[in-house]
Structure formats: structure tokens, C-alpha cells
């Protein structure tokens, strides 16, 4: 808690105190409560970046002077109780505010995201890289023959000769720093040393030389840099296995929830630097936790692979993402060279390398490259499809001969953003919902704890359930009078999923008409994207042998319900496979195997990007897909229409 | 001139004042006058590094308190006049000393060493690299097609595509720094940019990208890092020609004249760092002068090649040369990777690369690699020989199929060190000497200025002349009474070449018995080295088609006199060719042509090092060669013995 020192010297600066912590900060005139929270180090949710759009930075004013902009994101009841949006409220004098629990970003409250915990069981890495070609970095223990008059090769050449006798290395590199230490080190170690080698393009670099045999300990980190969540794996590069996982929200959220908002922030002075430091901080915190929990020294982590969408990778490397935003959507780099991890601030071995999975284009990133590798799309004769539902929806279709991809602006509704009570699949998130009989609502939360909100899989269940019960119509509108749970609030309809008495927050958990509209837009974007991409190459869904659904929520998704709402095509369920986070799985594979890494480079080179805008009737297809399941019911023959209920409307 | 501020505060610290400048400095107890000179920034010759061996750091004590060690390097006369050796004299109280002109290192007094001036006319570079393969760094002006929806490659890939269409580049590299600037730069420049490319091993790096067309200006620097002299060339990499040259003494001399002394100093705390900074300072000063004189911006100098002996290159790069000194004489690196020039402190374009010519072994350096390239030894079917007479004498013999080299510890006598009035071939150096008729001495100095000392070619003439006149015998001993010019001084004989009345220093220019002994040891080391190397492979000198004599003094050497004293074999003079500084010529060629650079790498790999110690009778051969011309006169059939004079002895 800050002492009141500021009052003594700065009468003119209003003070803001945040409760329950009591953190106090003096702010400049025109500062908002959100600005004050940032200054005070108070962690406040702000997915829209302070534009007054998401309604997440809710605060309760206990006493003092503020000037709040009108907003439709708070109910009259809430406004009467003192609720304000932090970003829309200017501090005009000393003020005391309370931070309600639901305004805390959930990341601060969990140790391990369940995505990560659950993912540990999936994708047994060792199996996938059987007969693997060696990791991107490896350690070799060498017992050099000491120099003699008959064999007076230089230290460097002696080292290279021994390495080459054990390892294919057409072009070898060595930094001046390593070379400088070499004479003393070799002699001090009695010519018995361990070299760490790292692939850089087509060359092999001697990253470090250590005395004695340290080859037993060589670790790597794989990261999925998601727009909303960052998942980090610790891998044992010798044992070719994943040891542990961590996940956290991407701290860049404070500047906005979407890729576009991050690009806007990157264009402000210091914005790019702030974004880079922010995500690097997230990664460092996770690495630190993983290293400590698994008794691994940071020094023994010699490589890190990162997969993410093109913008996330730009921000990680400190590259300007600006041109990605506007046509022709060009990246600075889709295949950045490996760099020393420390160059971007990542704290592993100071000579360790950071590899970014090559991107396919401005709007199809390395996460999809990794996904295509992970599901083996380019090893199959039959046509397969990969759909990655994250903050955007990226789609790939193809086989070993050809592959095309597109990106659909699905938005982050299935990640809980743009939905009043939406949240990630963490403790307290409603992940399964059944409606009926009647208007009874059965739900299950992640971790079985009292409900705090609803996550992606819960939302799909909910929409399917609402439709089956006839509580919404085919266009997703709530049907007034169909159940007592539908009520009007501030002039709009909402469905009460959990009453305040049963929720952890002490407030009703609802889904609003606006939420439903966002969800239907998101699912329409994904379905129409799949449809248009298939049609663009003259294919029908029936010709697709398998559809892989990737994404954080994928593991709990109910295939039939996802079909019922028209999110994915109406195919036999055995053709649909949920594959979880394929981005990090690809990053794992590439780290553990140079062959896999090279395959990702080949994928990024070979895959063609298709811009949905090029398809003549794309927007019509999108609108048709906004219905449940679709305007054209013949595309969903297996989906039973709730005729009985329909009749009631 | 320093003010006397030190006296006011530090009564206990003795002060030393150097005249004629009047520079004053306060020193600690036990400091020598040489220490004081270094502190005061007074440039004092000290080729032995302060061990009291060379007798060059002579000072005249005007008044004050000193304690001088006894030395045989000063005559009684000189001691009576107040002469001391700076390094052997401890300051015991305030003292005023005068720095006589002969104690100033000559480098401070010249703008361009004549080595460099004269060398401009030699080795027309453009001719040698006809049909050349392109320089180590080159600039390409590119007009990129702007990104469009049909061609939305990333900035990096667009750049690489265009480069690859113009330039062979199997593996391309790009630093994060360049990548970060790329999006803004390309768009700001309307997609018209100049890239600078540099070869690194088998890969091509994009060193920098500049807006617009700057391709007309691309320069490089080639350096011969000699133990005593550093020669620097400025080259226009587009025009494939040398623009200008500079030379200076290697400032590392202050820590000793020989490679061994430098290695010793490198082993002291901070010694390696001092040595590196010192030679880098020399190179930077020369680059700065060359750039200014030729109106070249440092920014437009994108590469520097350096050739030198293995120790010099170690010191330049900051690598520990320690192990080179002792058997098995192993270098840290004989083929160091290119590094950013700024990494070692060299001030050219901050992204520019420093390339060091690969060394052959610990005692045969990149200067010989460069020499072998320069004379085309490995392009000839016939057997040829290269002898580089510098601070050491390195010898190579071979043809396109095989080449062996050795190093003979000739010492720097022919560079003027270890010789009382020896000096480099600069203004005032006696470069030609004729004796007779009688004991008349005719000489010519460099620049025609009054004589200050005698350089290598003058010493060879002198020894030949002394022998022809019968003033020395076959073993090099001065013959007392054979001429009035021979006198005794401090119990040893010396020959007065120039009386004090005609010298610039106002002192006699003499050659002492000790000087003659050093010169004969040096010439014996070189001749016996050549002989043993040829014999080691079963060859006779008559089977050698050509002998190339390289080295700073080579251009003025009188072939017949060099044969007369037994420095080089008694071959028809058309078989002997003086080729000057082949080290810098090779550095020039390698900079201007990637093919030449690669040929030097192949040379360093292919050439075999032969240690003279391995030859059973090497020491006997050396002793036999200490006579004039040799013990075995049958090896020098063309040399007329001065029988008439001999009779007088």
C-alpha cells in the first residue's frame, strides 16, 4: 500500500485508491480510472483496450469525484449501485473505488491454465518423432585428442574436425565470443568438453563450449503465442519428451483483445516496444515457473520455438506489423531467421536460439504451419481440412500435392470475448450445458467450482440447447415468453443461465441478444470460410476425408452440437476429429526434430493463401450461415429441426 | 604542456618533465622514466618492451634525481653526458629529461610510410582480378515490385527473391536489426533500395538496406598487420582498384618488438586488451586518413580484410595467443569466421564485416597464405619458392600439387631492430651504400634527407661492401686496422658509417660488432631455412624455377649483394624476383574477389607446415650459414672472394 506521500507535495493531483488492496496513486488531470489502475499496478481486465466496447473494466465508486461517460454496457441498476467502466470514467478529484472480482483478469488467479494441464495428456510427442533427426539444438560430449607436434591443428579446427566426425555439418559457424574462450577452456578441461550446436538456416553454429560432460542436460521450450493465451511447454531434448506445460493470458490484452487493436497500439510511440516486452514477460514468467518446478537450470535451456499468428510473431520479434493490417496485407517477414533469444529479451541460455515457426502470409500464421505439420495434412493422399478456431478462424484444405488456406474474421467470441459473461476455459467456466426438460438448465464448470462465466464449448452447448428448446429462433433471436429465464434488461432481451444466488460473483450469469449475435457471426465466419475455400477449388465437403478442429476449446466440444448450430459441416462424426492446440504441438515437433522444422519451412513455402474476398458471393454465404444451422437446411440433413417449438413462435 | 598542478597536492609524488615539449607528469615511487613517458603521453621508442635490451629509449637527464641500472648499451661518453635508458632508470625525485630525436619512434614523424607510397605502383590489382567473381561485399540496387494482392510476399521474401534473381545465394542470412527497419524503409523509399551483401562462410548476409541507389559507392580496406608495420589500403570495390595506401608502425611495439614479447604481454592482466586496442587504434587512424583524403564516408566502407602472422591476427581479434608460443604451437583459430568489424572496434560501416586471411599454422600466418596467392605459387607446374623477410622469415616451396612452409626465427634485424642505428626505410634512412675506393663511404638516403640511421637494404649493401673491402672477415668480424673508420668503443669494435658532423642526429652513425653479429644470424636463419626446407623434400635450389623475395625492404634490395652476403641462394638473377609486400597484395585480391578469398582458404588447408627442428642437422646448417657468404663456398660459385684483402688479415 502506498503511503499518502503524494498529497503532501502535489495538492493539484487527484488521488485514486483501489480497494480491497488499498493501492493509492496520484494522477494527472483527464486521467481515466483505467489509466490510474495501470499506474497503480492494479490488474484490471480491459480486452477492448480502453475503448468502452467490452464492458470488462467495471469498477464500483465508493466515494469521490468522477465524470463517467454514458454507456449501454451497464444496467441502470448497476449504475445506481456505483458501477462505472474504468476506461470511460475521468478522475476529477480524490476517489476511492472497489475492484469487483469479475473485473480481475483471470490469469492472475490461476497457476496453470487448464488448457495446458489437459494438453499434457495429448499428442505423445515421442511417438510422433520416432526415428527423429535430432533437435534444433543438441549437445555433444567430445574427448578431443590433445594437440601435439604431429597434430597441431588449431583449437577451432580440432573442435570442428571432431564435431564433423559425429554430426553432419556442411557449413559451421562460431561466434567470436566462443572462440575467445576456447584456448583456456579446452586446456582447463583437459580437452574434454561439451559443445552445444544449433541449426541456423543451412548452417550449424557452435553456440557454446562447456568443460566436462554436460550433455545429459539439454532442454528446450516451445511456445504457442496466441492472441489471447500463451501456452509454454518445457521439453527434454535428449529424452525427446515434453516434461511440463504452463499457460497464461497474453498480457498484451491490456491494449486490446484483437490482432487489429494490437497493430493499432504498435503504431503509437513506444507501443511496439510495450507489446514486445509484455509478451516476452509472459513467456519469461512461464519459463521460470517450468524451470523451477522441473529443476531445470535456465542455462540448460538452449532453444525456444515459437508459433503464433503473423502479427504475434512480429510483436514478439519487435517487427512492425503495420502493413499486415491493410491490403495487400504484407508481413515484414514470414520466415524470420533464428536469433539469439536474449536479443528479444527471452531468458534462457544467453547463447540459446529463438526459432519462430514460419508464417504462410500476413493473415495465416505459423500456428497454422504448425497445425498442418501436426495433423499430417501434407502427408496424406486424401483431401483433409484443418480449422483452427482461436481469436481468428484459420482454415487449410489440401493433401500432399496442394494446400490452400484462408483466414476468416471470426472474432474471439468462442474465447469468451465479446460475450457479456464469456471467459476462457478455466476454473469456474461453464463448459457443458444441457437445457431441459422444460427450462431447467444443467451445467458443469471447469474444476467443478461455482460458476463465474461461460467458455467456448459451453456457449456452443448453450446455443444448441436454446435452439432445441425453441428459446431462440433460426436467426438466433430470443423468443420472448418462451421461458421465464428470458427477460428484458435495459431494453434488450437476455437469457438467465445462472441466477445470482448460485454464481460465484453474486450476479446473474446471462447470455444477451448481443452475445448471441456475436456467436452466430463467429460461427458463420468459420463455416462460410470452410465452404468458400472448398468451393474455390471445386470441392464438396463430402469429398473431404477428415476435418480436424483445432483450438483451445476443441477438446470438450460436442461434435453433434457444433453441427447442430452450423459451426462445422454436417459430416459423419468419425470424419471430425478434435485435435486441441496443434500450434504448440507443431512447435514441440519442430524443436525436437530438424526434419520436422524443415517440413514446416516447406509447408510455409508450399501453401497458397486464398483471400476470401476474392470469392464473388462470400458475403452472401456468410449471411446464409448466420442462421441456425444455416439458411440452406439441405446442407445439414442430420440436424433435426425443433418443429414442435417452431410452431409456437 | 601540463600545468604544475600536481605539485600543489601531491608533495610525495616525484614529477618528471619531458623536454623539449615540457610535458610534466607525477609518478609513483619505483616508476621508471619509460613509465613516466607513457603516462605523460610522450612517444618513446621501446622495441624490447622495457627490458633494457634494445637501448632505444635513451633520454638525457638535465637535472634531478634518478637511479640508473648499469648498462652496456650506453658508452662511457654518453653516460658522462647524462644519457640513460628510460626503462632502466627509476625516478627518485623531481627530474627534467630531454628526449633526443633518435629516441622518437619514427612513425610519429611521417604521414605516409614509403613502403606504402612506393607500393602504390606495384601489383596492378585490376589486372590480377580480371574476370573477377565479385568482392566479399557488394551493393545491389533493386527496384522491387510493390506488394499487391496478387503478389503479397513478405518484405523479407520479396527482397530475397529479387536478390536471388541477380546473385547466386544458396543460403541467405539477415539480422534482426535489418529486418526491423525493413517495412518502413521499403515503403519510405518507394521500394527502390540498395542492399549490401556480404559473404560469411558459405552464406550470404544482407548487411544493410539503404533507400535509393547508393550502389555507386562501395569501398573496402585491406590491411597487412605486420609485427612492426601496419599497411592499409583503401579500395574501390566497384571499380576493382586500389585508391590509396597508408602505413604506420604497429603501436604494439611499446610492449616489445617481437611476436614472443607480444605473447608475453598478452598473458599479463589487461595485456591482451591493450594489445588489441593498440593495433585497432592504428588501423582506425589510417582508415580515417585514407577516407578523408579520398572523400570516402566511413559508412561506405563495408568490408575489411586483414592478413598477418597468426599471433597478430589473434591479437587483432582478441584471441589468446598463449599456446602459440610453446610446443606444439597451436593457434586458437587459423580460420576465424568473419565478424562484424565493430566487434573488434574497427570503425567502418557498423554492419561491415572483418575478414581475416586464414593462417596456415601457429608460426606460418595469413600473410604467407596471402603471399602464396599473390605470387601464384599454387598455379604453377614448376617448383617455386617464396621467402617473406619481415620480423620473422617465412618460407614456402611448392607448386600446384604440393606446398610446404616453414618459419625461421630470423629476428627483425633487417627491419632495423637489434641494430644500433637501424631503422625502417623512411626519410633519412640510408638505403644504398657503396664502399670504396679505399674507405670512402657513399650512401643514399630515402627522400634524400640527412641520414638518421640505416635500413635493411642499406645494411645488406653495407655488409657486402665491408666484406668486399676486407673490413670484415668471413665470419663477420671487423678487422682492426683495416681502416680508420673502425674504432673501439666501450671495449667493442664499430665501423663509423657517417660521422656526427653529417648526420641529422648530430651523432655518429655506426655499425657495431654486435650489429653485424645480429645481421649474420638473421641472414643465416633465412638461408639455412630455405636450404633445409628444399632438402627436406629432396630438392636442390637448381630445381627451383623462381624465388620470390617478399617483404617491406624487398624493392630496393640489390640481388647480387644479397647473394654476396649469402642471404639468398646463388641463382641466376633472372630467377630471383622481388615482389614487395605480398601480404597486403593477397589481402587486396581476397577483398576484391570471392574466388581469390576461397583460393586462400584452400591454400591454408592444403599447405603443410614443416618444423625446421625436425631436420637432423638444422643447427649445423644455421652455423655454416653464419659465414659470408657461407662455410661451403661451393654453394656460392658466383661470389668472388676478396683474396687481396684476405691476404692482409
Segments of chain B with pLDDT less than 70 = 1-11, 47-48, 105-133, 552-556, 643-649
Q: Do B176 and A148 touch (CB under 8 A)?
A: no
* Cβ-count burial A391-422 (b if 16+ within 10 Å, e if not): bbbbbbbbeeeebbbbbbbbbbbbbbbbbbbb
Residues of chain A positioned with their CB less than 8 A from the CB of B311: none
Q: pLDDT tens across A288-347, in order?
A: 999 999 999 999 999 999 999 999 999 999 999 999 999 888 999 999 999 999 999 999
Inspect the interface and report whether the beta carbons of A152 and B202 lie closer than 8 Å. no
Residue with cell 645494411: B459
Which residues make Cβ contacts (< 8 Å) with residue A79, sequence separation at least 6? none
The CA distance from B616 to the nearest CA of chain A, in Å, is 16
Which DSSP string corresponds to A557-581? --HHHHHHTTSS----GGGEEEEE-
Q: Tally helices (H) and strands (E) across chain B.
A: 19, 27
Give me A126's grid cell: 515421442
**Which of A36-40, A178-182, A417-421 reaches the highest mean pLDDT?**
A178-182
Tell me the chain B residues in contact with residue A330 when contact means C-beta distances shorter than 8 Å: 147, 152-155, 158
CA distance B319 to B362: 13
For residues A212 and A355, the answer to whether their CB atoms sit within 8 Å is no
Q: How far apart are CA A9 and CA B568, in angstroms?
A: 89
Compute the count of residue pairs across chains A and B with CB atoms less than 8 Å apart: 161
Q: Which residues of A touch B327 (CB under 8 A)?
A: 149
Task: Give me the pLDDT at residue A425, please.
Answer: 76
Best probe of the B interface among A152, A182, A267, A611, by most B CBs < 10 A, is: A152
With CB atoms and an 8 Å threshold, state whether B175 touches A327: no
DSSP B554: G
From chain A, the residues in CB contact with B203 under 8 A are 171, 201-203
Enclosing H/E stretch for B183? helix B176-188
Q: Which H helix or E strand runs over A511?
A: strand A509-512
Give A17→chain B minimum CA distance, Å. Answer: 41
List of long-range contacts for B24-28, beta carbons under 8 Å, 24+ apart: B27/B91
Helix (H) / strand (E) element for A393: namely: strand A393-398
- Confidence at residue B382, expressed as pLDDT on a 0 to 100 scale: 95
Closest Cβ opposite residue A156 in set B147, B332, B362: B332
Alpha-carbon distance B361 to nearest alpha carbon in chain A (angstroms): 7
Q: Which residues in chain A are contacts of B151 at CB distance < 8 A?
A: 328
Q: Which residues of A touch B314 (CB under 8 A)?
A: none
Q: How far is A373 from chain B (nearest CA, A)?
A: 21
Measure the CA–CA gap between A378 and A182, rounded to whole angstroms.
44
Angle at B309 between CA B303 and CA B311, to 5 degrees: 100
Distance from CA of B215 to the nearest CA of A (A): 23
Asked if the Cβ–Cβ distance from A343 to B202 is below 8 Å, we say: no
User: A320 to chain B: which residues are within 8 Å by CB?
Assistant: 180, 183-184
**DSSP letter string over B102-152?**
GGS-GGGG-SS-HHHHHHTTSS-HHHHTTT----SEEEEEEEPPPPBTTB-
Q: What CA–CA distances, in Å, run from B90 to A146, A433, B36, B56?
A: 45, 95, 10, 17
CB within 8 Å of A96: residues ≥ 6 apart:
A16, A17, A19, A61, A62, A63, A64
Nearest to A320 among B156, B157, B184 (CB): B184
Q: Which of A176, A201, A333 sits opposite B343 (nearest CB)?
A: A176
The pLDDT, as a whole number, for residue B4 is: 39
In chain A, which residues have their Cβ closer than 8 Å to the Cβ of B158?
A: 330
Cβ–Cβ gap B152/A182 under 8 Å = no
Q: Verify whether the Cβ–Cβ distance A147 to B175 is below 8 Å.
A: no
Asked whether the beta carbons of B50 and B87 are under 8 A apart, the reply is yes
The CA distance from B313 to B598, in Å, is 18
Query: For A99-137, how does the pLDDT look when each residue is reduced to its tens digit (9 = 90+)?
Result: 887 777 653 333 334 444 444 434 444 445 544 568 999
Determine contact, residues B222/B212, Cβ cutoff 8 Å.
Answer: no
pLDDT 10s digits, B207-237: 999 999 999 999 999 999 999 889 999 999 9
Cell of A146: 590433445
A623 is written with which cell numbers? 449471411
d(CA B121, CA B129): 16
Q: In whole angstroms, what is the distance from residue B472 CA to residue A591 CA?
A: 77
The distance of B158 to chain A (nearest Cα, Å) reads 9
A226 torsion bin: left (phi>0), alpha (psi -120 to 50), beta (else): beta
Which residue did the predictor score with more confidence, A439 or B344? B344
**Nearest alpha carbon to residue A556 among A453, A463, A444:** A444
Q: Which residue has the higher pLDDT, B131 or A146?
A: A146
Which of A145, A330, A355, A362 to substitute to test the interface with B, most B CBs within 10 Å? Answer: A330
Joined grid coordinates for residue A109: 488467479
For chain A, give the longest Cα–Cα distance: 99
Alpha carbon distance, N-terminus to C-terminus of chain B:
57
Q: Do A176 and B318 touch (CB under 8 A)?
A: yes
The distance of A224 to chain B (nearest Cα, Å) reads 21
A288 HSE (CA, 13 A, CB side): 9
pLDDT > 70? residue A545 = yes
> How far is residue A293's CA from residue A244's CA, in Å, rounded to a whole number?
9
Is this complex's ipTM strictly greater than 0.85? no
DSSP string, A186-243: HHHTTTEEEEEEEEETTEEEEEEEEES--TT--EEEEEEE-SSEEEEEEEETTTTEEE
Residue A391 and residue A411 in contact, taking contact as beta carbons nearer than 8 Å: yes
C-alpha–C-alpha distance, residues A10 and A378, integer Å:
65
Of A203, A334, A337, the CB nearest to B201: A203
Question: What is the average pLDDT across A556-581?
Answer: 88
Strands B219-225 and B301-308, bridge-based pairing = parallel
- Distance between CA atoms of residues B241 and B219, nearest Å: 10
Residues of chain B neighbouring A361 (CB-CB closer than 8 A): 152, 154
Q: Chain B partners of A337 at a C-beta cutoff of 8 Å?
A: 173-176, 179
Spatial distance between the Cα atoms of A36 and A461, rounded to a whole number of angstroms: 39
B149–A335 CB contact, under 8 Å: no
Chain B residues whose CB is inside 8 A of the A318 CB are 176, 180
In terms of Cβ atoms closer than 10 Å to its own Cβ (0-12, 13-18, 19+), residue B304 is: buried
CA distance B510 to B499: 8
Q: At B410, list the grid cell.
A: 630470423
3-state secondary structure B589-633: HHHHCHHHHHHHHHHHHHCEECCHHHCCCHHHHHHHCCCCCCCCH
Minimum Cα–Cα distance from A318: chain B residue: B180
* B334/A361 CB distance under 8 A: no
DSSP string, A252-284: GGGG-SSHHHHHHHHTSTTHHHHHHHHHHHHHH
Is residue B391 within 8 Å of B416, Cβ to Cβ? Answer: no
CA distance to partner chain A, nearest, from residue B544 (Å):
28
Tell me the chain A residues in contact with residue B317 when contact means C-beta distances shorter than 8 Å: 176, 179-180
The pLDDT value recorded for residue B648 is 43
Distance CA A636, CA A561 (A): 12
Among positive and negative, which fits the CA dihedral A579, A301, A298, A171?
A: negative
pLDDT above 90 covers a percentage of chain A that reads: 61
Q: Which residues of A touch B171 (CB under 8 A)?
A: 171, 201-203
Beta-carbon separation of A335 and B202 below 8 A? no
**SS3 call for B321:** coil
What pTM value is reported for the model? Answer: 0.80
CA distance A282 to chain B (A): 21
CB-based contact A152 B329, cutoff 8 Å: yes
Pick from B151, B139, B156: nearest CA to B194? B139
Cα–Cα distance, A6 to A9 (Å, whole number)? 6
**How far away is chain B from the Cα of A150, in angstroms, using its nearest Cα?**
8
> Tell me, what's the pLDDT at A417?
75
Of B180, B330, B333, the CB nearest to A147: B330
- Bond before B437 cis per omega within 30 degrees: yes
Residue A309 CB-density burial (10 A; 0-12 exposed, 13-18 middle, 19+ buried): buried
Q: How far apart (Å, rounded) are the C-alpha atoms in residues B485 and B179?
A: 73
Residue of A nearest to B206 (CA): A337
Amino acid at each position: 500500500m502506498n503511503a499518502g506521500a503524494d498529497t503532501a507535495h502535489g495538492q493539484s493531483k487527484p488521488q485514486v485508491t483501489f480497494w480491497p488492496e488499498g493501492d493509492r496513486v496520484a494522477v494527472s488531470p483527464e486521467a481515466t480510472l483505467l489509466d490510474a489502475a495501470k499506474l497503480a499496478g492494479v490488474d484490471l481486465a480491459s480486452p477492448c483496450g480502453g475503448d468502452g466496447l467490452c464492458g470488462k473494466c467495471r469498477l464500483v465508486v465508493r466515494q469521490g469525484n468522477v465524470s463517467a461517460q454514458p454507456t449501454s454496457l451497464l444496467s441502470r441498476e448497476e449504475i445506481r449501485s456505483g458501477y462505472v467502466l474504468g476506461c470511460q470514467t475521468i478522475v476529477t478529484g480524490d476517489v476511492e473505488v472497489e475492484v469487483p472480482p469479475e473485473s480481475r483478469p483471470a490469469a492472475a488467479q490461476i497457476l496453470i491454465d487448464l488448457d495446458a494441464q489437459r494438453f499434457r495428456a495429448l499428442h505423445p510427442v515421442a511417438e510422433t518423432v520416432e526415428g527423429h533427426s535430432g533437435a534444433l539444438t543438441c549437445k555433444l560430449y567430445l574427448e578431443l585428442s590433445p594437440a601435439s607436434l604431429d597434430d597441431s591443428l588449431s583449437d577451432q579446427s580440432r573442435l570442428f574436425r571432431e564435431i564433423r566426425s559425429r554430426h553432419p555439418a556442411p557449413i559451421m559457424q562460431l561466434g567470436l565470443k566462443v572462440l575467445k574462450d576456447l584456448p583456456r577452456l579446452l586446456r582447463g578441461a583437459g580437452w574434454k568438453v561439451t559443445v552445444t550446436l544449433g541449426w541456423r538456416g543451412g548452417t550449424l553454429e557452435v553456440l557454446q563450449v562447456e568443460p566436462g560432460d554436460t550433455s545429459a542436460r539439454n532442454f528446450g521450450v516451445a511456445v504457442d503465442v496466441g492472441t489471447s493465451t500463451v501456452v509454454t511447454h518445457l521439453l527434454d531434448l535428449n529424452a525427446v519428451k515434453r516434461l511440463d506445460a504452463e499457460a497464461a493470458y497474453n498480457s498484451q490484452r491490456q491494449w486490446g483483445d484483437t490482432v487489429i487493436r494490437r497493430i493499432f497500439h504498435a503504431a503509437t510511440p513506444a507501443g511496439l516496444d510495450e507489446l514486445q516486452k509484455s509478451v516476452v514477460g509472459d513467456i519469461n514468467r512461464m519459463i521460470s515457473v517450468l524451470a523451477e518446478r522441473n529443476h531445470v537450470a535456465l542455462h540448460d535451456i538452449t532453444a525456444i520455438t515459437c508459433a503464433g499468428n503473423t502479427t504475434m510473431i512480429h510483436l514478439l520479434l519487435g517487427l512492425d506489423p503495420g502493413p499486415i493490417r491493410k491490403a495487400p496485407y504484407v508481413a515484414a517477414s514470414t520466415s524470420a531467421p533464428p536469433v539469439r533469444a536474449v536479443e528479444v529479451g527471452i531468458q534462457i541460455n544467453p547463447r540459446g536460439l529463438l526459432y519462430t515457426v514460419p508464417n504462410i502470409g500476413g493473415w495465416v500464421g505459423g500456428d497454422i504451419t504448425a497445425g498442418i505439420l501436426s495433423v499430417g495434412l501434407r502427408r496424406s493422399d486424401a483431401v483433409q481440412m484443418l480449422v483452427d478456431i482461436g481469436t481468428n478462424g484459420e482454415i487449410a484444405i489440401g493433401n500432399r500435392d496442394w494446400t490452400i488456406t484462408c483466414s476468416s474474421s471470426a472474432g474471439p467470441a468462442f474465447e469468451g470475448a465479446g460475450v457479456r459473461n464469456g471467459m476462457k476455459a478455466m476454473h469456474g467456466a461453464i463448459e457443458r450445458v444441457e437445457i431441459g426438460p422444460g427450462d431447467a438448465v444443467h451445467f458443469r464448470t471447469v474444476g467443478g467450482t461455482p460458476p463465474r462465466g461461460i467458455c467456448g464449448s459451453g456457449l456452443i452447448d448453450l446455443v444448441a440447447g436454446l435452439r432445441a428448446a425453441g428459446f431462440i429462433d433460426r436467426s438466433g433471436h430470443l423468443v420472448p415468453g418462451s421461458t421465464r429465464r428470458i427477460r428484458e434488461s435495459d431494453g434488450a432481451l437476455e437469457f438467465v443461465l445462472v441466477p445470482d444466488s448460485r454464481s460465484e460473483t453474486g450476479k446473474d450469469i446471462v447470455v444477451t441478444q448481443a452475445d448471441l449475435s456475436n456467436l452466430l457471426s463467429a460461427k458463420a465466419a468459420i463455416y462460410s470460410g470452410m465452404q468458400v475455400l472448398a468451393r474455390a477449388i471445386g470441392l464438396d465437403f463430402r469429398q473431404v476425408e477428415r476435418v480436424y478442429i483445432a483450438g483451445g476449446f476443441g477438446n470438450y466440444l460436442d461434435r453433434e452440437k457444433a453441427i447442430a448450430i452450423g459451426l462445422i459441416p454436417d459430416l459423419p462424426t468419425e470424419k471430425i476429429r478434435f485435435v486441441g492446440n496443434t500450434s504448440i504441438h507443431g512447435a514441440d515437433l519442430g524443436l525436437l526434430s530438424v526434419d520436422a522444422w524443415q517440413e514446416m519451412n516447406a509447408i510455409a513455402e508450399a501453401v497458397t493463401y486464398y483471400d476470401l474476398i476474392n470469392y464473388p458471393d462470400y458475403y452472401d454465404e456468410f449471411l446464409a450461415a448466420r442462421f441456425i444451422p444455416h439458411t440452406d437446411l439441405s446442407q445439414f440433413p442430420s440436424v433435426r429441426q425443433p418443429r414442435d417449438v417452431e410452431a409456437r413462435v
